[in-house]
Amino acid sequence: MSARTRTFTWDDPLAMARAIEALSGLERMRQVIAGTLPPPPIAKLMDIRMVEASEGRVVFEATPSEFHYNPIGVVHGGFAATILDSAMGCAVHTMLPARVGYTTLELKVNFVRAVTLATGPVRAIGTVIHGGRTTALAEGRLESADGTLLAHATTTCLILR
């Protein structure tokens, strides 16, 4: 066995939250994509990036790496759960005004195919299917570059007014 090393940096998430509280959710997402705002620490840790945001829809991309692997030789299911939770939650956030937040109440993921290094780049598409005053529902698809479904998820988010 040979050891690997990975180093990354991130910005203070609490300072960032205070600095951008006057932005709507969609404005925040678009500024992260544009590079005006830094991505959150989890995105840096997992090496995922938001590439599209519109009202009720967000897309993340990533390329599975060795550091995503579990001991049985495939990418850990937590990778799919994390990127899908991020895409669905951010999709909900795009529909919220400034000073209104959300949190995941429930997350369900169905793993359809194993993800490995050979899978190559993946896309997580999060779409809001219901946006209410106190809760929102969203669904997510994790797809390979050719559109093959790798995982499907749903979430319920609590709206924090």
Contacts of residue 102, defined as CB under 8 A and 6 or more positions apart, other chains included, come to 89, 92, 93, 96, 136, 157, 158, 159, 160
Q: Tens digits of per-residue pLDDT, 23-78?
A: 999 999 999 999 999 999 999 999 999 999 999 999 999 999 999 999 999 999 99
Q: How confident is the model at residue 1 (pLDDT cuts 50, 70, 90)?
A: confident
For helices 77-93 and 25-34, the axis angle rounded to 10 degrees is 120
Would you kindly state where each structural domain of the chain is located, as residue ranges?
A: 13-160
13-160: CATH number: 3.10.129.10
Mean pLDDT of all residues in the chain? 97
* pLDDT at 119 > cutoff 90: yes
Whether 136 and 95 have beta carbons less than 8 Å apart is answered as: yes
